[in-house]
Amino acid sequence: MAALAPTSCLLYRELCHRELGTPPLSSGGACSSVAICGGGVDSSRPGRGRRARSRGEVKAGPFWQSASRPTSIEMEAIATMEDFDRILAASQEISQVVIVDWMATWCRKCIYLKPKLEKLAAEYHPRVKFYFVDVNKVPQALVKRGNISKMPTIQLWKDGEWKAEVIGGHKAWLVLDEVREMIQKHL
């Protein structure tokens, strides 16, 4: 069945446009527009006519993934001691958990881990707020306040106090699992 009859082709073209939500083409050609409007029947393999997905067609995702929910949330930077104090005071007022990623731009593990933490931030948004501190760009008094000796160090702060930390010197998926456990314990 290499070609469809003209009437079948017109019906198929109309169905194709309804499915894709596009306006019908005005070309009068029989089956040449089937490929344009969204995929046709695979006639190269007899008895195996299956519909090929067109380029513009969208495959539906799982129902639990909402289109409005972001997949990652960019972490905010903490640049000064005043920023840090303000963040801790604000989180204390609403009893919100704060995660602080102490990192450096020269640290490969830190750079690798940051986007993964941003995806984790999307999972816990808005109950947990994620921040990062580049230890080379802040006053050393702030680094001493966090008691940072290794990087990356991911700390959990709640009610203005340090509660727990994970030093991320091992595999990223293990670090993320430890951070999840730390968050679950203090939520």
- Residues assigned a catalytic role: 107, 110
For the beta carbon of residue 109, count every other beta carbon within 10 angstroms.
17
Q: How many residues does the chain have?
A: 187
Residues 6+ apart with CB under 8 A from 57: 20, 38, 39
**Angle between helix 108-124 and 172-186 (nearest 10):** 40
CA 125 to CA 17: how far, in whole Å? Answer: 39
Judge whether 154 and 101 are in contact, CB under 8 Å.
Answer: yes
Distance between CA atoms of residues 144 and 135, nearest Å: 10
* CB-based burial, 162-178: b 16+ in 10 Å, e otherwise: eebbbbbeeeeeebbeb
